Structure formats: structure tokens, C-alpha cells
Structure 1
Amino acid sequence: MNNLKKIILIGFIVGVTFACTSDFEEINTNPNRTTVGEIQASGMFEPLLYNGANAWMNYSWYWNNELVQFTAFTGGTTRQEHRYFISDGNWQSVWNLYTRYANNALHMYDMSIEQEERSLEAIALTLKVLYMSNLTDMFGDVPYSEAFTARKANGTTKPKFDPQKEVYLQMFTDLMEANEIYATKPIFAKPALDGMYKGNMEQWRKFNNSLYLRLLNRVSGRSEMNTGTKMTEILNNPDKFPIFTSNADNATVTFSGNDPYRSQFSDSNEGDFTSSGRKLTEQLIKMTVVSDDNGNQTYEDPRLPIYGKKNPNINVNPNNLWKGTIAGVPEQDQSTADRGSSWLNAAVFVRSDAPGTFMDYAEVQFILAEAALKGRIPGGESVAKTHYENAVTASVEKWAELGQYSEVPITITSTDITTLLSSDLASWDNATNKEELIGNQKYLALFWIGMEAYHEYRRTGYPELTIGSGAVFNDYILPTRFAYPTTTMATNNENAQAALQRMGGDNTMKTPVWWSKQAIDEGK
């Protein structure tokens, strides 16, 4: 009888424990199965923030770095993104990720209104735009005005696809609405939940408006969007439109390292992260290393040994050089091209508390440098130079903080930054093409920030990438967009087909998105 009582008691405890744990997982790490009213709006905030930051890091490593030649997977043929082997399953996973997070942000927005959580109402709009901007930038025309309405009265399971121009205009409206809510100084009730800004609404407001600048810059090649006027309005009204003013404002999520607040790569090792897979490319090395006529490496960008590390095997790298593998190399030449190639710096990235960044101050300064250079905002070349040098400095200083985690800790001084700004790699005064210089240095500064370098490459054409002779899977064309998944084409075919006709192409990775340099140059 005593044994039976013990069994019953243990069974009860296990049942209660499982129920609590299951509830925690459901509410705090997977909000995708919830419905309006089941939980508080604050219960959705952490998954949107932390899981979103992890997705940003994963997409940097998995997609962005391979497409824009930061890295190339040369550990076999299981992964061939750098050869543009991208399937419908890949399109589906990317589509699902961005729509899932945007849907959850809208869900949090609805609950915030019901529960009168004004701070979360504003944050939900900012995050919705963050995720939806990446969806449209990856695919082109997407549902926005009718998206995620199926659970509402008069909603639809077959939303129309809005033209990308209309998507951007609606995102601008959402960001303006969020800015107005932030201006009321709402109180974030549970600051401990916020691993980015600790509930500081002024910093969230800066992120919101800096994101607005990013999106204005994205469509700046379209004169009808009148982006210069809007940028100038933001800059002339810092009280109404505060933006990032230092690295202290960076939209960076800090992980504690304790479950469930752990980095995407917590359980990775150097082998699966880099040495047996993704290596640095010759594209990245040539943009960060100066060599003399004899091949001696005489100078390197101070960020490079934080981004990556030289191959430590003296048998394949006897001279201890930075060497990049070839993105898009034919399969039969892969082993030769890869010999001695440098790795990602796993000691920096593979940590349970490694941070994830959505946007930083350096990007804002690059945006303003380009805008001034092109006359979209006042100031001309002199102001452009100031913003440019601020941008490079901010980027180096941001990465300098991570130098402590390298196997051999790396320290970057102000003198090192001055040297970089006067070097052949980054000198403003010595550059004959200032627009290219901004584009190239922005590319380097966007390392490890989601898909931004890929988006910017399609917008500007910088840096000049060499398409490898093994990039056969998209006819040697770097993907201009991702194609709509088969499921989307099957379940919402009429609207998807209308979008494809509008964009002027088939459902392939060769149709340029509306804001891209290619579309503008081709008059599409």
C-alpha cells in the first residue's frame, strides 16, 4: 500500500511538472499555435524577439553569406547554395519563417489593443514591418493589406498580392503609426522580458525610425517614392523622428546563455559551423587584405580576424596567410580551391550568449552617406564623407567588442581605425568612385546582419561579384529573388499569377524585384 501511494504521488508530480513545462514551451518559445485571447500580449513578445534574432543569425550563416560570397560551403555537395542550388523546399521554409513571425507580430498587435498594452502595440508594428520587409525583399510582390486576416470576420485565406511599391507604402504607414505611439511614452510593463532595450521605449522608437530609413533607402532608386524629402524630414526633426546616434542604440538582442535564452549556434562546434563546411571566400579576403606585387599580405582590415581565422594547418597553409575559397567553384575543382582556406571565427560566433543584431548605427550612417553623396539630403560630398567615416568607425568599434572572444583576444585601437580609414581598402580621399566605396564598406559592415548584404547587393550592384563557373543551377545568374513556393502557387494561384505578371517574369529566381538596380535599369 505504501508503494502504491508513492507511485500515485510520483505520477501526480510528473503530471503537474509536464503540464507546467509544456505550457512554458507553448507560450514562451512557440507562439505559433496560440489563438487570440489565450495568453497575454506580453507572452508573445519574447518568442518574437529572441527567436527572431536567432533566425536572423541563422539566415546570415545559411543564406546571406553564401549568396553574397562571404562564405562558401565546400564540405561536400549536401549544401550548394553558393552554386545557386535552391529548391522549392528552401523557398517554402523562407516564406514560412517570415510570414510566421509577421503573423505572430500582428497577433500580438491585436491582443495589445484588446488589453490596452500601448508599448507592445507599437513594438508589434515595428516587428511586423521588420519581418514583412524581408518577405517582400526576398519574393517581390506579397500579400500585405489582406495578409493574416483569415481568423477575423470578413477575412480571407486567399489574400491578394500587393505590388511591392504598395507594400512599402503600407510599411511606411505602419512605422509612422508606431512612431506616434512611442511618442506617447507608453510604459513597458515587464522590462526583464526585453533582451534588446530593457523596455526603453525611446530606444525602440529609434529602432523604428532607423528601420524607416533603411526602407526609404531601399526604394531610393525609384524617384516616385520621393525618399529624399522623407529622409530630410526625419533628419530635420530629431525630436519627432529620433534615430540611432551611437552603437548604444543598436538593435541587438543579448542572450543570457541560459535556456531558453541561448544563441542559435550554442550547440554547434567548429567543424559543423565552419572547418568542415563554410569557409571564407576570396571575395571577402580581397576586400579586407592588401597584398604587394609579390603576394605578401601587408595589411588587413582589423575586423577580419574577428570575422574569421586563418587555416591553422601548416601543411595546407605553411605561410600563415589569409586565403579564401572560391564561391561557385565547380564540384570537381572544389578540393583544390578549398585547400588552406580560412574559416569563420567559431570562438566569436559559436557561443550560447552570442548576440543577434537586426540593425546597427553603422548602417544608418552609411544610408546618410549615400543620401548626401547623391543629393537626396543636403550637404554634398563633405557631409557624405563625415557620415561614411562615422559608419566605418562604428562598425569597427562594434566588432572590436567581440574581439575578446577570439582564441587570441583581439584589441582594436582608435589608431587602428584611423589607419583603416587612410588605407587602400577604405580611404575616402583616394577612392575614385565614392558610391562604390560606400557600397563596398557597407557590405563589410553588414556581415552577420540577416539578409541585408544580399538585399543591398541587388539594390546597388556593389560589391562587384565574380560568378563562379560552377554556379550552374540558375544559369550563372545570382538569384534576383526567391520563387513563390509550390504550396502558395497551389492554394492562392490566381493572386500569385497576377503578381508574377505584374513583376514581368516567370516564377523563377531570375525576375528582379521592383526596387532593384536591375529592374530600374531595365525599365521594369
Structure 2
Amino acid sequence: MKKYIIPLILILTACGDFGNTNVDPNNPTSVPVSGFLTNAIHFMPAYESGVTGLYYSQYWSATRYTEDSRYSTTQFDFTAIYSGPLNDLQKVIDMNSDPETMEMASESGSNANQIAVARILKAYFFLHATDRWGDIPYTEALMALENLTPSYDKQSAIYAALFDELDNAVEEFDAGAAPKGDILYNGDLDMWKKFANSLRLKMALRISDVDPAAAKAEFESAVADGVLATNDDNAIYHYLGNGVFDNPRYNDFLTRTDNAVSKTIVDKLLALGDPRVTAYADPIAASAGDVYAGMPYGLGNAEAGGYGFDEVSLPHSVYVKAKDSSVPLLTYAQVLFGLAEGASYGWNAGGTAESFYNAAIKASMEQWNVFDQDEYDSYIQQAEVDFDEAKAIQLIGEQKWLALYMQGYEGWAEWRRLGYPELLPAPAAANNSGQIPKRQAYPASESQNNQANYEAAVARQGADNLDTRVWWDVE
């Protein structure tokens, strides 16, 4: 498996010293380190809101070519994560650590601060990957030509390593210059610390069923160190909408209408009178007023073809699929729901489960610009929303799912962990079990190019299919 892309010409020309004979002054060979950081951040929304995750969590439904929404694809390629953002971040770390390049790298910010941000982002991408595939290459990954067949680490070991990585990265920040190329937090180091601690909080909850002692300790440590505290702290990827850096959804929907908002979430929002429906979806084109109708989920191609595009709600024209529509990556609402869950377990969250739960709903509505105090007060008093300690996890799971719209893979992960809401599989499911996937299978290239390590991982983890549960997903 290739983790670095190294042009062959670089290997060949490195064998001799030809002075300046072949140096093109118009194409400098030293690349600003800030460019690697920017490029890695640019990958984040594509993974956070990937369309497969939006299908699995039933935020979107396919209107045509419905195979992927029916789980027909088993194998998913993780090599792009390694050769893309993880490779870029490793370059940031290497160039800021190597005595021969540290001075040049410091032009993009202090060495320590660049390394710290890169380590936090590496943890983010590794977490995304392990939650999709389970056991993956970690310890021996990103070693370039030194190791093209890395072994797979257990997911439990990866989680333990990522907790340490995030904790140590926060400690590495110094008083030097902030990293350049930071298009997420614009060099605000305090925000990066909150982001790292919020990732730790999310991870702690992820393992609460399989290692409750470690989960409690990591949760309480993250809270004490400081997590996202307002919507102003949200990690949001802002597309410029300038014709170059446009939200890909804009082009997707410009000439095609392959997806609509799922009936699953639209019906839930409408049943609750939830104002977020007006930010998540457009009214159906066939209506004269504000009428919303979701696309039935997981239909076969023939059945889906019976629905006209003007009969179902498409993703919102401003908040979701405009040129400059932003993508949420990690939000205050997520953190508040996490605090509510931790408090429901008796962990030290700094407040009550009910107060955090209600605040999370409010934060989500504010995030999507639909908050009205009177409507909110009525909303949280409904029987299906009003907090009840006896069914705390159900309520948190259902409301967190609603708040995670457009964070498809995160919504899927939380559904697998909490079991709420009670999603039904695609009626025309194309996979063998007919059930919603529990993980994604490894790319075919691994069984061919890294066979021994691939087979060891499968023997340890379970069948390489969509039904094998990852380590933290217990029944």
C-alpha cells in the first residue's frame, strides 16, 4: 500500500550533484509548509459529509442510481486518506522536525505549533478511518518506502494512541508564531486546543460501552482541559464560492438531481414541528407554499424512478448546496450532547444531563439560523423531546442524530453506538444481510498487495464485510 507519492524523477536525480544546471528559477523546489497544512484541512469536509455516510445515516436518499444507498458497495478505498491528508500532515511534522528543514519550515509558523496542529489533524483523520474500517495501519503507516506493507493495529490500540496523541499535541504548543495556512481556525491556537479536547470527549463516549473506566477518565480530563464552549468555537469549513473553491454539492446539483433529503429525517422534523427542516431542505418545487416531503429511503431504481424531482425536497439551496455553503466538522451542539450523555452516566461534566441536552438543541437551532425563543420553549416541552432521565440515551441519540445533519459518517457512527434513532434498513437492500452496514470492507488492493497483514487483521477482527462490528460497537 502506497502511503507517499514520490515521483520517480526525484529518486533518479537525487543520485548526482549537477549544480544549478537543471534548476528552473521559475519553479522553486522548496514548497512552503503552510501549503501542506491547507491541503490537509481542505480534505476534511469531503470525508465528514461523504455521500455514503449521508446514505447510511439516512439524511439523504438516492433518487436514481440507488445502488449505493442500498449498500451494494462493500469495499471502500482508504489509501486516499493515507496518500492525501495524512501524507500532507506527516510532511508538516517531518519538515518541522528535521534539523535540515526546520529553519525553512519556521517561515510558516513556529515549529512546535505547526507540529501540534498537524498531530491534532492526524488524529482527526485516523479516527475517521478507524471508525469506518476498524483495525487499520497506524504504527507502521506513513513510513514511505521504508515500509510499503504496514501491519494493522487493533482499533483499541489506535484509540489509546490517539488519546495520547491529542493530549501530547496540546502540550506541545508554544508562544511562537501561529501556523500559516490554517484555513479552519486562522491560527487561533486556543481554538485548536479546544478542538483537540472535544475530539477526546467524542472518542471517550465512543468507547463507553467497551472500556467505561478509560472512557470516564478521558471524558473528565477533556472537560477539565476545555472543550468547545459556544457556536463561535465551531469547526466549520467555509467554502469561498469564488468559482475555484466551491462547495462540490453546488456542481453536483447544477446539472443532476441524484439525491434528495430522506423521508426518514424530513418526517421526523415535521412530526416535531422542528424549524431545522427549513434549513436542511427546500420546499418541494411542485408546491405553492412551504411544503416539505422527503424521498423514501433505499428504493430500487424502478421504484425511485416513480418520484419526480419536483415532488421531493432537495437539500437546502443556501445552507447545503450553494457555492459557498459551509460544512460542519465538529460543533458546540455535538459537545453539549456529549456532555449530556456523560452527565447521564454520573461522570463529572460540569452540569446536569437535562441542562446540556436542552442547550444542545438550542445550539443546533442557532447553528442553522432557525432559533426562536418561543418556538424553542414549545419544542423542548413536547412529549417526544422533553428530557426524561429514564430514557436519556434514547432522547440524546435521537436529537443528536437530528443535529448531525450533513455530518453523515458521524451520524452513522453515533447510530451504531447508541442504537437511536431506530432506523430501518433500505427496503431494497442489495447486501447479503439486508441490514444497515456496521463497517466498511477494506479495499481490494490490500488483499493483493498487503496480503499477510490484511489476512491477520481479518482473522482477528472478523469477516471483511459490511456486517462485522468494529471494536466499540457492541450489541
Q: TM-score by structure 2 length? A: 0.86
Matched, 1:222 2:210: yes
Determine which of 178, 198, 207 is the counterpart of 1:188.
178
User: Is 1:284 matched with 2:271?
Assistant: no
Does 2:436 align with 1:478?
yes
Q: Distance in 1 between matches of 2:35 and 2:141?
A: 22
Instruction: From 80, 102, 106, give the equivalent of 1:96.
Output: 80
Conservation of the 8 A alpha-carbon contact between 2:37 and 2:88: no
TM-fit CA distance, 1:353: 2.2
1:422 positional shift: 1.8
Q: Distance in 2 between matches of 1:289 and 1:83?
A: 25
Q: Are 2:329 and 1:329 aligned? A: no
- List aligned pairs for 1:104-183, cutoff 5 A: 104-114=88-98, 115=102, 117-151=111-145, 155-182=146-173
| CA shift for structure 1 position 327 | 1.3
2:275 aligns with one of 302, 306, 331: 302
Aligned to 2:48: 56
Deviation, structure 1 residue 450: 4.9
Shift of 1:438: 0.2
What SS is found at the alignment partner of 2:355?
Answer: helix
Q: Is the 8 A contact 1:329 1:337 kept in 2?
A: no
CA contact (8 A) 1:257 1:352 kept: yes
State the one-letter code of the partner of 1:280.
V
Q: Secondary structure at the match of 1:343?
A: coil
- State yes or no: 1:66 paired with 2:58: no
**Aligned mate of 2:357, from 388, 409, 423:** 388
* Structure 2 runs not aligned, ≥5 long: 1-23
User: Does structure 1 residue 506 correspond to structure 2 residue 475?
Assistant: no
Give distance in 2, aligned partners of 1:262 and 1:286. 30
Measure, in 2, the Cα distance between the counterparts of 1:162 and 1:110.
Answer: 22
| CA pair 413-104 structure 1, distance change in 2 beyond 3 A | same
Tell me, in whole angstroms, the C-alpha distance in 1 between the residues paired with 2:314 and 2:249: 16
Q: Deviations over 1:265-295 (max 9, x none)?
A: 34344552xxx221222210232112xxxxx
Aligned letter for 2:177?
I
Note if contact 1:325-1:341 (Cα within 8 Å) is conserved in structure 2. yes
Answering whether residue 337 of structure 2 is matched by residue 347 of structure 1, we say no
Assess if the C-alpha contact under 8 Å between 2:228 and 2:332 holds in 1.
yes
In structure 1, what is the Cα distance between the partners aligned to 2:289 and 2:325?
A: 31
Higher relative contact order (CA 8 A, sep 6+): 2
- The match for 2:14 is none
- The count of aligned residue pairs is 441
Matched position secondary structure for 1:215: helix
Paired position in structure 1 for 2:376 = 417
Q: Which residue of 2 aligns with 1:10?
A: none
Deviations 1:402-439 (A, max 9, x none): xxxxxxxxx5322222222223452225x862211100
| CA distance in 2: counterparts of 1:225 and 1:143, whole angstroms | 26
Query: Secondary structure at the residue paired with 1:346?
Result: coil
Alignment partners' CA distance in 1, 2:143 and 2:31: 19
> Aligned letter for 2:37?
F
SS in 1 for 2:328: strand
- Compared CA separation, residues 428 and 324, structure 1 to 2 (3 A): same
Residues 195, 255 of structure 1: 8 Å contact kept: no
Residue equivalent to 1:245: 229
Write the distance in 1 (CA, Å) between the matches of 2:304 and 2:471.
Answer: 35
Cα offset, 1:100, TM superposition = 2.5
Output the amino acid matched with 1:47: N
**Among candidates 43, 63, 70, match of residue 83 of structure 1:** 70
Q: Which residue of 2 aligns with 1:434?
A: 392
Deviation at 1:333, TM superposition (A): 2.7
Aligned mates of 1:253, 1:467 — CA distance in 2: 31
Q: 1:302/1:319 Cα in 2 relative to 1: closer, same or farther (>3 Å)? A: closer
SS at match of 2:236: strand
Any idea what the Cα deviations from partners look like across 1:446-502, whole Å, max 9, x if unmatched?
111251001111111111011232113243121111111110111111111111111
Deviates more, 1:279-288 or 1:159-168: 279-288
Query: What is the alpha-carbon distance in structure 2 between the residues aligned to residue 488 and residue 19 of structure 1?
Result: 41
* SS at 1:328 equivalent: coil
- Any conservation in 1 of the 2:54–2:408 contact (CA below 8 Å)? no
Mean alpha-carbon deviation: is it higher for 320-329 or for 196-205? 320-329
TM-score, normalised to structure 1, is 0.78
> Does the C-alpha gap of structure 1 residues 19 and 484 become closer, same or farther in structure 2, counting only changes over 3 Å?
farther
Measured against aligned partners, the alpha-carbon deviations of 1:217-274 in whole angstroms (never above 9, x if no partner) come to: 1111112652112212333x3xxx22110011111122333364332334344552xx
Please tell me the residue identity of whatever aligns with 1:330.
G
Is the CA contact (8 Å cut-off) linking 1:251 and 1:360 kept in structure 2? Answer: yes
Runs of 4+ residues over 6 Å off in structure 1: none
- Aligned AA for 1:334? A
Aligned partners of 1:268 and 1:447: how far apart in 2?
18
Return the alpha-carbon distance in structure 1 between the equivalents of residues 425 and 292 of structure 2. 21
Residue identity opposite 1:325 in structure 2 = M
1:124 alignment partner AA: A
Unaligned runs of 5+ in 1: 1-17, 25-36, 291-298, 401-410
How much identity, in percent, do the aligned residues show? 25
